[in-house]
Amino acid sequence: MKHEQGQAVVEFALALPFLLAFIFFIVDAGFFAYSYISVANAVREGARCGAVGGTDAAVAARVTDTSGGLTNVVTVDVPDRGPNIGDDITVTAHYTYDWITPVGILPGLDLEDVTYTKSVTMRMETTPPYAKETCP
């Protein structure tokens, strides 16, 4: 009986790192999904700000402010917009996700730095000059 208890402890000790890695990877995947959705929403908010007459700086600030607390939104590209009502405005942001789980040590996975780009296009609702310094 005593030998079986020792065997269970050894088996648990061998299985625990894999179990913890799996749990942490699930949590990490949830954070990744949250960041992806947050950046998509932030870019949408920035495009809306630009469509109603926000300056380029106001658009970039809106993207940063509505990113859901994400600290490393890498860049917000200068909005590309047409001068007429009905023309398109395109806002693009780039985000680099930092993994919590050390996924870089897993063979065959190249997930060290995941940078993704979100872009949104909307129609302009105003004409130049774009003077809104802030967007509500």
CB 103 within 8 A of CB 25: yes
Per-residue DSSP letters for 90-120?
EEEEEEEEPPSS-GGGSTT---S-EEEEEEE
Residue reference for tokens 């105003």: 126
Chain centroid, CA 17 distance in Å:
28
Q: What 3-state class would DSSP assign to 32? A: helix
CA angle 104, 108, 113 (to 5 degrees): 35
**pLDDT tens per residue across span 100-127:** 877 666 677 666 778 889 999 999 998 8
Two tokens at 124? 């302009």
- In the predicted model, residues of the chain with pLDDT beneath 70 are 1-5, 74, 103-106, 109-111
How many C-beta atoms lie closer than 10 Å to residue 122's C-beta? Answer: 19
Whole-model pTM: value is: 0.81
Percentage of the residues of the chain whose pLDDT score is greater than 90: 39
pLDDT of residue 100: 81
